[in-house]
Amino acid sequence: MKINWPLMDNNIIQDDLDVVIDFLKGTPRLTQGAQVAAFEEEWSEWLGVKYSVFVNSGASANFITMHILRASGIAGKALVPTLAWVSDIASTLSAGFDPVFIDIDPKTLGMDTEQIIPKLDEQTKVIFLTHVQGFNAIPSWTLLGALNEKKVILLEDCCESYGATFRGNKIGTFGLISNFSFYYAHHMSTIEGGMICTDNQGVYDIARMLRSHGMSREATTDASIRVDLEEMYKDSLTPDFIFGYPSFNFRNTEIGAVIGRNQLKRLDENNSKRVHNFDVFLNCIDSAKYKTDFEVEGNCNYAFPLILKKPDTAFRDRLEIAMKDANIEFRRGSSGGGNQLRQPYLSNIDWNPKDYPNVEHVHFFGYYIGNYPTLTDNRIMELCKFLNEVD
């Protein structure tokens, strides 16, 4: 039986292409310009922050975010999740922070609060909280209060979860900086792209500079960092080419912004469909075989988490064969290839799998399957029936 279930239905529809075609008819400038600025403003309004910076990927957003802290003279330990995308950890390492890994909460797939708070010490400067697969990973005001009390900076990776909320407020509005990805398979797409968001103007100006080779002219006109650099080097450098930080080109294009602006118009409607789809999935999937006790309040899932309730290797192997035969696309290990500590780029870190039992279970017995707005209830029920019948 063929179910034919891709990870993502076409996320860039004909209407998006029509908008791009109309834009191109005007023979516009295609590199970063007015469309990018408009998209940033509209995204900030949607999210509820003061500033946004459009970049070429969510990974670039992660990289710039950590290097903003480094440029600000912040160094020390960074608490990071074991279940995340590689760029969360890679950006932490590249910025010179010492990563401290935290196991996940099985109900949200985010970092476990009970492990976070005891590890907040004087050397802890940052926590990079990843909201996985559409779940809100902020478990309580207790955590936010502890971070504030100990002056630990909260960063939010919202690349898989925009639209999710905590106590009625969108995630991405709680940390000093939040990151979003507009990759093809996410809630909305700009082909490739990402966004850095903040309420802090100083952070905003450094983000703008780091996006474009570290040039001071990219900061807002009256930004103190721009004014100070231009004054300091007025006798030796032209203000058009003062590189305040060592960086690269992370800019996006006008075409990406045009698509993003058009997709943003239907984001809330599509997110509502995703939430509904997840409810149908949880109501239909066999809770005796698969995990269903997720924390669904505030969720906006872009994928269906399919996690075996028990660590049964034989059943897992049969399930994978059945899904492949039915043409059901899946990713084992859930987000980012599972437990990051098992990845080769972290092979120099000494760790014990027994210290991270929750992420280890997801790594070996967890998957995600596509959830997208075009799904119907009948299609979801068909999928669940197939999965439930695997034994």
Summary mean pLDDT of the chain: 96
Q: Beta 194-198 vs 177-181: how paired, if at all?
A: antiparallel
Q: Which residue has the tokens 């990973």?
A: 137
Cβ-based neighbour number of residue 320 at 10 Å:
15
**Which pLDDT tens digit goes with each residue over 128-171?**
999 999 999 997 888 899 999 999 999 999 999 999 999 999 99
Q: What is the pLDDT of residue 61?
A: 98
End-to-end CA distance of the chain: 15
User: Which parts of the chain register pLDDT below 70?
Assistant: none
Which CATH number does 267-389 carry?
Answer: 3.90.1150.10
Q: Which residue has the tokens 């034919």?
A: 4
**Which residues, in sequence order, are CB contacts of 280 under 8 Å at separation 6+?**
377, 380, 381
**Which pLDDT tens digit goes with each residue over 292-337?**
999 999 999 989 999 999 999 999 999 999 999 999 999 999 988 8
State what percent of residues in the chain have pLDDT above 90.
94
Measured in whole angstroms, the distance separating CA 158 from the mean position of its chain's CA atoms is: 4
Of 245, 304, 306, 267, the closest CA to residue 71 belongs to: 245
In angstroms, the CA 260 to CA 193 distance is 9
Q: What is the pLDDT of residue 99?
A: 98
Q: What is the pLDDT of residue 10?
A: 81
Q: What is the pLDDT of residue 298?
A: 94
267-389 matches 14-264 in CATH topology: no
CATH architecture of 14-264: 3-Layer(aba) Sandwich (3.40)
Question: Could you tell me the residue ranges of all domains in the chain?
Answer: 14-264, 267-389
